[in-house]
A and B are shown apart, each in its own frame.
Chain A
């Protein structure tokens, strides 16, 4: 094999060319792998935001309503109170429509059907909160029916309305006329964050109020239990425990617990907290306990890492001036490790906030319309039935009306915003307090 056979060094021979081409291809594979991951992320976010962004705006019908004290009294003594209020709304709507000559050939029933079934209850709450309104005429904003809302969001068209039992093409025509009049407007949907869940027939009224409250309660439980227990366990394992088979068992145990599927924690919660300890089903307390057990390994692992990063000279200095081992840990090591512990805790909480599967098993899928109280004499602390943000998303995906898909995506955007804030806070804390020794 003499060099002359292969030509000059200035010219790349076919074999080298092949090798260089392979090199280039390999780089391309790597780049495209990153590309795939990033594109997947973009598609995921775009699809969720595209589906859900519209849920933050909702269509309202606004028209003048007149009610007098006698009518209020009659409605309050009626068997179906909200039904009676509905009647008053309908009369007012009819007056408004005929005054502006909007109805024309459209049947009255169609016009009434455009208002959400929730309107009667909304109106009643409004009147009871403000009795002064009796006898006057005032502008009332009521939720439009989910289908009418869908029409303005492009989900419903005249073609689909023909096949749909819940909306008629005539209603869409009337909706256009009302919109021209300025009586049908889309505005920011605060009710989405404050309302409780609503039944299958009224997606327009469904909100995240109970779910957000329930998630907050659970986060409170997780924070109050997982942080102290996790920190105490880490301190023992990292600072005090002598190496023995028991500590080995505990360590292997924690590593494995971190990798146990979350649904297994749900089974544990169902068997131990609900069947054995007889705590209330679907309560934030049980949810919080299950999530605590789930986040404990995460918190322990990150706390131990930050305890480990504190140099031994700190401990030695404390011991040198007469502190006990316990004092050196609690007075010196722990405060220095606090930023790292906090960061790990926030990340653990974020994980717990997004967890769904175990909560399904402990009954948090139940339909809850009442805001759970933090404490009540019957149910105790955090014992009232509640739901949680991710579970509410799951719940809405199981409904038939496509308007709930929009709601579910909107709920996910809300959840992701919460997670974003928590993670940003964690990163900020780490950047601000991180100390290299």
Chain B
């Protein structure tokens, strides 16, 4: 990267000079009377600055990318003499500088010209979202591909044992991890969905504006708390509590980190998620439907149960799916609360592990990017990405479709 520093700063310097020069030249072309100019002097300046700056920057970016891609394929793309790169880039910059200065005249539409450059920048910025997705997919797909080159995909998807061994001969079956993930998410949802839903119903149908203005922010604080805080809470408070008062007396286990610990704490984390999404959806149900039901003599709770909630149901299902995708992708709570042992068991007080925990444990510390034990993390990541993406797409589709119904 370093060889590009010199042309980078040279270009920026040239652009600043270009701005000042172009402004002066525009003024002198107009012989001091800017009314005769098609564009204002500073617009001429901006056009020259951007013409000097942007093309070399774009080339630098593409060039750096090409060199990197070349390096990863053992091709040496960079010329032996960096002076060549310097001259090419600075030459490009100077060309833009000179051409744009030469174009300055009374009739030159510098405003439109400079705005075309700005437009290019805006478009580039909005493609970054797409580039991110492409980056995510590409990085995971290539590594997963090389993982399946070393490890049979049938063993990965259908084996029920997970025992990585960095000396080789590991069993890398995803089933126990998926089981742990789903079990924990299930417990979290069993806790969060009723609580969140009832809270949303109460807040939107019963609560006075005063109570709503106090309770809603309080619940939403839960959403602003970082997950590492929940993780520590699970590790230090909830885990020992569940072990000492539930698991140990009932003879179900001696482990503080368990599916129950992680599930319960994750449930707390999801409450505001479920409640604020369902709150929006319940509020979107038209008042006329409620009035109709109340007018027929139904009580408020009957109206809610038989009219409002059924009308809002698709949206609520969408909210639950979004919450489920959150739960599946959650990392810190399970890293600190669920344990590291891959197990297929029904006992909720036993330590189990999840896909995300294993991604973290396979990729932290000294890792060798050629061994299947490390590469498996990318396959796990891809699986996770596909599952959550599927849930999100379905959920967003349902929520959006439902919203349109009443608008």
Taking the closest CB of chain A, its distance from the CB of B4, in whole angstroms, is: 12
| A232-B125, A357-B331 as given contacts; A272 in contact with B139, CB under 8 Å | yes
- Indicate whether A293 reaches chain B with its CB closer than 8 angstroms: yes
The chain A residue sitting closest to B64, CB to CB, is A277
User: How many chain B residues have a CB neighbour from A under 8 Å?
Assistant: 91
Instruction: Please determine whether A253 and B226 come into contact, CB atoms closer than 8 angstroms.
Output: no
Interface string of B195-236 (1 = CB under 8 A from A): 111110111011000000001001101101111111111011
Instruction: Please determine whether A296 and B132 come into contact, CB atoms closer than 8 angstroms.
Output: yes
Instruction: Please determine whether A267 and B229 come into contact, CB atoms closer than 8 angstroms.
Output: no
Enumerate chain A residues within 8 angstroms of B201, measured Cβ to Cβ.
Answer: 30
Enumerate chain A residues within 8 angstroms of B226, measured Cβ to Cβ.
Answer: 353-356, 390, 415, 419
Enumerate chain A residues within 8 angstroms of B195, measured Cβ to Cβ.
Answer: 33, 36-37
Interface string of A70-112 (1 = CB under 8 A from B): 0000000000000000000000000000000000000000000
Q: Give the docked Cα–Cα distance between A265 and B203 (Å).
A: 35
| A267-B381, A324-B112, A412-B232 as given contacts; A38 in contact with B139, CB under 8 Å | no
Complex interface: stretch among A41-49, A132-140, A155-163, A176-184: A41-49
Instruction: Please determine whether A397 and B336 come into contact, CB atoms closer than 8 angstroms.
Output: yes
Per the 8 Å Cβ criterion, residues 272-292 of B in contact with A are: 272, 275
Q: Per a CB cutoff under 8 Å, which of B127, B236, B385 touches A409?
A: B236
Q: Give the docked Cα–Cα distance between A232 and B125 (Å).
A: 6
Q: Give the docked Cα–Cα distance between A310 and B231 (Å).
A: 41
- Indicate whether B126 reaches chain A with its CB closer than 8 angstroms: yes
Enumerate chain B residues within 8 angstroms of A270, measured Cβ to Cβ.
Answer: 363
- Indicate whether A19 reaches chain B with its CB closer than 8 angstroms: yes
Instruction: Please determine whether B129 and A300 come into contact, CB atoms closer than 8 angstroms.
Output: yes
| A34-B203, A37-B271, A296-B132 as given contacts; A259 in contact with B388, CB under 8 Å | yes
Interface string of B125-161 (1 = CB under 8 A from A): 1111110110110011001000000000000000000
- Indicate whether B377 reaches chain A with its CB closer than 8 angstroms: yes
Taking the closest CB of chain A, its distance from the CB of B232, in whole angstroms, is: 6
Instruction: Please determine whether B128 and A30 come into contact, CB atoms closer than 8 angstroms.
Output: no
- Indicate whether B402 reaches chain A with its CB closer than 8 angstroms: no
Instruction: Please determine whether A256 and B392 come into contact, CB atoms closer than 8 angstroms.
Output: yes
Q: Give the docked Cα–Cα distance between A260 and B393 (Å).
A: 11
| A22-B301, A263-B384, A365-B364 as given contacts; A296 in contact with B136, CB under 8 Å | no
For this complex, into which size category does the number of interface residues on chain A fall?
A: 35 or more
Complex interface: stretch among B163-171, B246-254, B322-330: B322-330
Enumerate chain A residues within 8 angstroms of B219, measured Cβ to Cβ.
Answer: 34, 37-38, 41
Q: Give the docked Cα–Cα distance between A385 and B266 (Å).
A: 32
| Secondary structure of the A contact surface, majority rule | helix
Instruction: Please determine whether B129 and A235 come into contact, CB atoms closer than 8 angstroms.
Output: no
Enumerate chain A residues within 8 angstroms of B135, measured Cβ to Cβ.
Answer: 268, 271-272
Enumerate chain A residues within 8 angstroms of B143, measured Cβ to Cβ.
Answer: 271
Enumerate chain A residues within 8 angstroms of B198, measured Cβ to Cβ.
Answer: 29-30, 32-34
- Indicate whether B244 reaches chain A with its CB closer than 8 angstroms: no
Q: Give the docked Cα–Cα distance between A300 and B125 (Å).
A: 11
The chain A residue sitting closest to B195, CB to CB, is A33
Enumerate chain B residues within 8 angstroms of A51, measured Cβ to Cβ.
Answer: 236
- Indicate whether B111 reaches chain A with its CB closer than 8 angstroms: yes
Q: Give the docked Cα–Cα distance between A234 and B130 (Å).
A: 14
Q: Give the docked Cα–Cα distance between A236 and B236 (Å).
A: 47
Instruction: Please determine whether A397 and B235 come into contact, CB atoms closer than 8 angstroms.
Output: yes
Instruction: Please determine whether B369 and A275 come into contact, CB atoms closer than 8 angstroms.
Output: yes
Taking the closest CB of chain A, its distance from the CB of B124, in whole angstroms, is: 8
Instruction: Please determine whether A263 and B331 come into contact, CB atoms closer than 8 angstroms.
Output: yes
- Indicate whether B76 reaches chain A with its CB closer than 8 angstroms: no
Instruction: Please determine whether B1 and A236 come into contact, CB atoms closer than 8 angstroms.
Output: no
Q: Give the docked Cα–Cα distance between A267 and B328 (Å).
A: 16
Q: Per a CB cutoff under 8 Å, which of A228, A260, A416, A423 touches B389?
A: A260
Q: Per a CB cutoff under 8 Å, which of A25, A44, A256 touches B225?
A: A44
Taking the closest CB of chain A, its distance from the CB of B136, in whole angstroms, is: 5
Q: Give the docked Cα–Cα distance between A47 and B305 (Å).
A: 37
Q: Give the docked Cα–Cα distance between A240 and B122 (Å).
A: 9
Enumerate chain A residues within 8 angstroms of B206, measured Cβ to Cβ.
Answer: 27, 30
- Indicate whether B237 reaches chain A with its CB closer than 8 angstroms: yes
Q: Give the docked Cα–Cα distance between A316 and B206 (Å).
A: 43
Q: Per a CB cutoff under 8 Å, which of B72, B236, B329, B369 touches A261?
A: B329
| A37-B222, A270-B363 as given contacts; A261 in contact with B328, CB under 8 Å | yes
Q: Give the docked Cα–Cα distance between A326 and B39 (Å).
A: 14
Taking the closest CB of chain B, its distance from the CB of A272, in whole angstroms, is: 5
Interface string of A226-267 (1 = CB under 8 A from B): 001110110111001100000001101111110111111111
Instruction: Please determine whether B130 and A259 come into contact, CB atoms closer than 8 angstroms.
Output: no
Complex interface: stretch among B24-32, B47-55, B113-121: B113-121
Q: Give the docked Cα–Cα distance between A287 and B281 (Å).
A: 36
Q: Per a CB cutoff under 8 Å, which of A44, A235, A261 touches B384?
A: A261
Taking the closest CB of chain B, its distance from the CB of A424, in whole angstroms, is: 11
Q: Give the docked Cα–Cα distance between A416 and B226 (Å).
A: 8
Taking the closest CB of chain B, its distance from the CB of A281, in whole angstroms, is: 10
Interface string of A368-410 (1 = CB under 8 A from B): 0000000000001000000000100110010000000100110
| A22-B301, A30-B202 as given contacts; A324 in contact with B332, CB under 8 Å | no
- Indicate whether A12 reaches chain B with its CB closer than 8 angstroms: no
Per the 8 Å Cβ criterion, residues 328-365 of A in contact with B are: 350, 353-357, 360-361, 363, 365
Instruction: Please determine whether B388 and A260 come into contact, CB atoms closer than 8 angstroms.
Output: yes
Q: Give the docked Cα–Cα distance between A146 and B132 (Å).
A: 46
The chain B residue sitting closest to A24, CB to CB, is B301
Instruction: Please determine whether A260 and B122 come into contact, CB atoms closer than 8 angstroms.
Output: no
Q: Give the docked Cα–Cα distance between A400 and B114 (Å).
A: 61
Q: Give the docked Cα–Cα distance between A339 and B111 (Å).
A: 28
Interface string of B383-398 (1 = CB under 8 A from A): 0110011001100100
The chain A residue sitting closest to B264, CB to CB, is A40
- Indicate whether A26 reaches chain B with its CB closer than 8 angstroms: yes
Enumerate chain A residues within 8 angstroms of B224, measured Cβ to Cβ.
Answer: 350, 419, 423
- Indicate whether A297 reaches chain B with its CB closer than 8 angstroms: yes
Enumerate chain A residues within 8 angstroms of B312, measured Cβ to Cβ.
Answer: none
The chain A residue sitting closest to B359, CB to CB, is A263
Q: Per a CB cutoff under 8 Å, which of A260, A408, A419 touches B385?
A: A260
Q: Give the docked Cα–Cα distance between A61 and B125 (Å).
A: 57
| A236-B126, A326-B115, A412-B228 as given contacts; A264 in contact with B329, CB under 8 Å | yes
The chain B residue sitting closest to A256, CB to CB, is B392
The chain A residue sitting closest to B216, CB to CB, is A34
Instruction: Please determine whether B356 and A261 come into contact, CB atoms closer than 8 angstroms.
Output: yes
- Indicate whether A276 reaches chain B with its CB closer than 8 angstroms: yes
Enumerate 11 A-B pairs (CB-CB under 8 Å) in ascending A order.
A30-B198, A34-B203, A34-B219, A37-B195, A233-B128, A267-B139, A271-B140, A271-B378, A276-B139, A326-B115, A354-B228
Given A23-B301, A40-B222, A360-B364, 5 more A-B residue pairs with CB atoms under 8 Å apart are A33-B194, A256-B393, A264-B329, A265-B136, A397-B231
Q: Which A residues are within 8 Å of any B CB, using their own CB?
A: 19-20, 22-23, 25-27, 29-34, 36-38, 40-41, 43-44, 47-48, 51, 228-230, 232-233, 235-237, 240-241, 249-250, 252-257, 259-268, 270-272, 275-278, 293, 296-297, 300, 324, 326-327, 350, 353-357, 360-361, 363, 365, 380, 390, 393-394, 397, 405, 408-409, 412, 415-416, 419, 423
Q: Which B residues are within 8 Å of any A CB, using their own CB?
A: 1-2, 68, 72, 111-112, 115, 118-119, 121-130, 132-133, 135-136, 139-140, 143, 194-199, 201-203, 205-206, 215, 218-219, 221-222, 224-233, 235-237, 268, 271-272, 275, 299-302, 304-305, 322, 325-326, 328-332, 335-336, 356, 359-360, 363-364, 369, 377-378, 381, 384-385, 388-389, 392-393, 396
**9 A-B pairs with least C-beta separation:** A261-B329, A354-B226, A30-B202, A271-B139, A33-B198, A232-B125, A26-B301, A357-B331, A233-B126
